[in-house]
Amino acid sequence: MANIIDGKTLAKKFKDRLKDEVTFLKGHGIKPGLAVVLVGDNPASQVYVKAKGKACEEIGVNSFQHTLHKEIAQEELLWQISELNNDSNVHGILVQLPLPDHLNEEVILEAISPEKDIDGFHPLNIGRLVINQPLFQPCTPLGIMKLLEDTGIDISGKEAVVVGRSNIVGKPIALMLLHKNATVTICHSRTQNLEEKIGKADIVIAAIGKPAIIKGNWIKQGAIVIDVGINRLDNGKLVGDVEFEEASKRASFITPVPGGVGPMTIAMLLHNTVEAAKRQSKGLKV
């Protein structure tokens, strides 16, 4: 049976360390601040934003939550972002995704100052990741790298299969694995013979958003399985993209849903916010 990678406990370890760091920074007059912008009333987004606010509170980071009407005009949202860019109490700015359809996500994300872009979604931060000179890296893939590190297994030379090619998970995690010298295959909705590709993988990253679409018996014996998917079933239960029970019989390590990648996403958000505060207090520019 696989070892369960406990994301909740690892996230707690990171948060405890960050809490001490925040105490130290406050002693030097620096109080890290995170602004979270939520547009509309998407229930999942409300849950995540609330969890982010609570995590800030736990470690002593100032959190500023801005809930905006779902029909807000793009210009108005851009104005709000520029206010946050100019606010010296705000070191990190996060605009929760997805945004309502009438808003242009690329334009909004590019309006965030790269120095405060603790989500790592600004084109400048993405470019820096591509050339392996990262500044702020997206929280979910960064959390996945910490989970992999925690297994103690060397990534170098491993076959990694990433399923999903989103800007927030699939593409950045593929780059991070590549930079650790994995041989990376990126799969998506047009990929043929997914089962065969997964069957060869030493590391599987599932970031699709479809319940149990990756069958447990596709997993190679001894593989590491990271399940990013969060799917709420009609009965209210949360499940990942991987058939957990079957996959556990083959994998060496596997992340659960919930309690795997999700908590690490939030811990990495706090990490990036503290880093942003430190950089800004030194007057560093990108």
Given the rule CB under 6 A, which residues bind ligand NAP?
140, 163-166, 168-170, 187-191, 194, 207-210, 213, 228-231, 261-262, 265
| Shortest Å, Cβ 169 to ligand LUD | 8
Concatenate the DSSP letters of all residues of 174-194 into one string.
Answer: HHHHHHTT-EEEEE-TT-S-H
Is residue 273 within 8 A of residue 32, CB to CB? The reply is yes
**Contact with ligand LUD (CB under 6 A) among 96, 137, 248, 273:** 96
**Applying CB under 6 A, which part among 13-21, 158-166, 187-195, 253-261 lies near ligand LUD?**
253-261
| Shortest Å, Cβ 137 to ligand LUD | 11
C-alpha distance across the termini of the chain, in Å = 46
- Two structure tokens written together for 126: 């993405």
Task: Tell me which residues in 219-238 interact with ligand LUD (CB under 6 A).
Answer: 230, 238
Should residue 97 be labelled a site residue for ligand LUD when binding is judged by CB under 6 A?
A: yes
In our burial notation (b when 16+ CB lie closer than 10 A, e otherwise), range 73-108 reads eeeebbebbeebeeeeebbbbbbbbebeeebeeeeb
* Closer CB to ligand NAP, 268 or 276, in the complex: 268
| Shortest Å, Cβ 83 to ligand LUD | 18
**Contact with ligand LUD (CB under 6 A) among 2, 55, 95, 160:** 95
CA distance 82 to 95: 13
Helix (H) or strand (E) holding 279: helix 261-281
Integer CA distances (angstroms), 215 to 50, 211, 282, in order: 32, 10, 49
Should residue 48 be labelled a site residue for ligand LUD when binding is judged by CB under 6 A?
A: yes
Contacts 24+ apart (CB under 8 A), 189-193: 191/163
**Contact with ligand LUD (CB under 6 A) among 92, 114, 172, 263:** 263
CA distance 26 to 187: 45
- Two structure tokens written together for 171: 């593409």
Q: Is 52 a catalytic residue?
A: yes
Look at residue 188 and give the partner it binds from ligand LUD, ligand NAP, none, a contact being a CB closer than 5 to 8 Å depending on partner kind.
ligand NAP
**Contact with ligand LUD (CB under 6 A) among 17, 167, 259, 278:** 259
Should residue 14 be labelled a site residue for ligand LUD when binding is judged by CB under 6 A?
A: no
Task: Tell me which residues in 121-140 interact with ligand LUD (CB under 6 A).
Answer: 139-140
Q: Is 119 a catalytic residue?
A: yes
**Residues recognised as catalytic:** 52, 96, 119
